[in-house]
Amino acid sequence: MTAFSLEPEQLARCADLRALAADRLRPLAEKGEPGRVNRPLVAELGRLGLLRRLFTSGALDLCLMRESLAYACTEAETALALQGLGAHPVHAHGTEAQRARWLPRVSDGDAVAAFALSEPGAGSDAAALELRAEPDGTGRWRLTGEKCWISNAPEADLYTVFARTTPGAGARGVTAFLLPADRPGLSGTPLDMLSPHPIGTLALDAVPVAADDVLGTPGRGFRVAMGTLNLFRPSVGAFAVGMAQAALDATLIHTARREAFGGKLRDLQTVAHQVAEMALRTEAARLMVYAAATAYDSGAPDVPGRAAMAKLLATETAQYVVDAAVQLHGARALRRGHLLEHLYREVRAPRIYEGASEVQRAVIAKELYARTAEQEPSS
């Protein structure tokens, strides 16, 4: 299988997953409260075995899951992705005891995970973290500071928290900790956001952590964060592609049925060309996402640049396609409850989280210049 062509078995699994999302997951999503963790939905993802696949599959399979779920139920897609984002550092860097305690619960949908990286003054600039991990003289640390824009906060059961253990050391002085939600001194507040999934702040007031809570090596937490993001950035693109495809398919149906100016909307050249452009950009984004995921699975050296390109192109494309779909549907697309009204609210956030579009461009440029420097002959 190449990055540009899926096998029939993969296509069949995607179709099955779209149907499953529509039949089993969307009804649970519709019963959920916007801005709150939908635990019945998370539990159903566990019962269906989808959460377990987060820790047994490669990047391409993760992308196919996210794209398929996003097409039929964005809430289910996001619930699955947040479980993976929050718990992947435990899977990849946790001790045997940490993995044994938390991964089965996350996989079953019994425990909700969260990835706590961003802060009020350190969103895209992750190396500027200010949350302090201060030694208490007993071989432990106390975490003091604030996290912001954290998905699943403050309702998660465990957090992957990134804190500064070496002041003034930039990215080299950050340590990743596995933090259960019942630790004393940890509190949080939900935020009322445009997108419907849960996002909140965390306040840490001398929260105790020990060596047993460290994920990976002290002072190397930035690598834990970037390794996680390199895996999940292409799949953010897959989420975007799923939304773009849903908007495109809705537009094809609408323009084929809608009577206007003595014929169907699709008979107007401007409409037909717009739909063609939507399809072109969606497919281009899909191929770049698959290529980036395949590069990750094969251990290619240029994963950071490819992941950034995939995330950037797919999220910007989805914004364009959904906006164009709304325009072609007219006012009906802006009514509460319409698919496109829902997608219009959902599609904006992915251009910001896990590295804004501007950050992705910076990553791409950095990788390009680094590659060029390696290829230049020594003088």
- Taking only the tens place, the pLDDT of each residue in 283-322 is 999 999 999 999 999 999 999 999 999 999 999 999 999 9
CATH of the domain at 247: 1.20.140.10
Cα atoms found within 13 Å of the Cα of residue 64, Cβ hemisphere only = 22
Cα atoms found within 13 Å of the Cα of residue 287, Cβ hemisphere only = 9
β-strand pairing of 174-180 with 132-135: unpaired
Report the pLDDT averaged over residues 203-215.
96
Domain end among 218, 239, 274: 218
**Judgement on whether residues 238 and 370 belong to the same structural domain of the protein:** yes
Q: Is 56 helix (H, G, I), strand (E, B) or coil?
A: coil
281-304 burial, b if ≥16 CB within 10 A, otherwise e? bbeebbbbbbbbbbbbbeeeeebb
Report the pLDDT averaged over residues 19-44.
95
Domain end among 156, 186, 218: 218
Please indicate whether residue 354 is annotated as part of the active site. Answer: yes
Residue 379's pLDDT band (boundaries 50, 70, 90)?
Answer: low
**Judgement on whether residues 188 and 76 belong to the same structural domain of the protein:** no
Question: Which residue reads 């009322």 in tokens?
Answer: 192
| Residue 1, pLDDT score | 47
Residue 26's pLDDT band (boundaries 50, 70, 90)?
Answer: very high
**Judgement on whether residues 99 and 30 belong to the same structural domain of the protein:** yes
Residue 3's pLDDT band (boundaries 50, 70, 90)?
Answer: low
3 in a domain, yes or no?
no
Distance, CA of 64 to CA of 309 (rounded, Å): 18
Taking residue 104's Cβ as centre, other Cβ atoms within 10 Å add up to 13
Q: Is 84 helix (H, G, I), strand (E, B) or coil?
A: helix
| Helix 74-93 / helix 96-108 crossing angle, nearest 10 deg | 170
**Judgement on whether residues 209 and 75 belong to the same structural domain of the protein:** no
- Among 44, 67, 346, 354, the one annotated catalytic: 354
Length of the chain: 379
**Judgement on whether residues 75 and 199 belong to the same structural domain of the protein:** no
User: pTM, whole model, 2 decimals?
Assistant: 0.92
94 in a domain, yes or no?
yes
Distance, CA of 54 to CA of 299 (rounded, Å): 18
Higher pLDDT, residue 378 or 151:
151
Report the pLDDT averaged over residues 330-341.
95
**Judgement on whether residues 186 and 309 belong to the same structural domain of the protein:** no
293 in a domain, yes or no?
yes
Mean of per-residue pLDDT scores for the chain: 93
Percent of the chain with pLDDT over 70: 97
Residues in contact with 333: Cβ distance below 8 Å, sequence separation at least 6, in sequence order: 325, 326, 340, 341, 344
Question: Which residue reads 């319409």 in tokens?
Answer: 338
Domain limits at 118?
Answer: 113-218
**Judgement on whether residues 80 and 24 belong to the same structural domain of the protein:** yes
**Judgement on whether residues 96 and 120 belong to the same structural domain of the protein:** no
169 phi and psi angles, rounded to 5 deg:
-100, 5
Q: Are 4 and 290 in contact (CB under 8 A)?
A: yes
342 in a domain, yes or no?
yes
β-strand pairing of 199-209 with 174-180: unpaired
Residues in contact with 241: Cβ distance below 8 Å, sequence separation at least 6, in sequence order: 67, 70, 282, 285, 286, 289, 314, 317, 318
Taking the mean position of all CA atoms in its chain, how far away is CA 148?
A: 16
Report the pLDDT averaged over residues 132-158.
94
Distance, CA of 225 to CA of 204 (rounded, Å): 19
Residues in contact with 107: Cβ distance below 8 Å, sequence separation at least 6, in sequence order: 46, 51, 52, 54, 55
| Residue 341, pLDDT score | 96
pLDDT of 371 over the 70 cut? yes
Domain end among 166, 193, 218: 218
CATH of the domain at 205: 2.40.110.10
Question: Which residue reads 């928290």 in tokens?
Answer: 161
Closest to 84 in 3D by CA, of 25, 151, 15, 181: 151
Distance, CA of 351 to CA of 331 (rounded, Å): 25
Q: How many domains does the chain have?
A: 3
Tell me the helices (H) and strands (E) count for the chain, helix number first: 12, 10
**Judgement on whether residues 97 and 118 belong to the same structural domain of the protein:** no
**Judgement on whether residues 60 and 131 belong to the same structural domain of the protein:** no
Percent of the chain with pLDDT over 90: 83
Distance, CA of 297 to CA of 210 (rounded, Å): 33
**Judgement on whether residues 42 and 27 belong to the same structural domain of the protein:** yes
Report the pLDDT averaged over residues 160-172.
89
Closest to 27 in 3D by CA, of 67, 81, 76: 76
**H or E, element range at 161:** strand 158-164
pLDDT in tens, 123-142: 767 678 899 999 988 889 99
Report the pLDDT averaged over residues 257-279.
93
**Judgement on whether residues 205 and 342 belong to the same structural domain of the protein:** no
CATH of the domain at 73: 1.10.540.10
Both structure tokens of 361: 């461009």
Taking the mean position of all CA atoms in its chain, how far away is CA 229?
A: 9
pLDDT of 174 over the 60 cut? yes
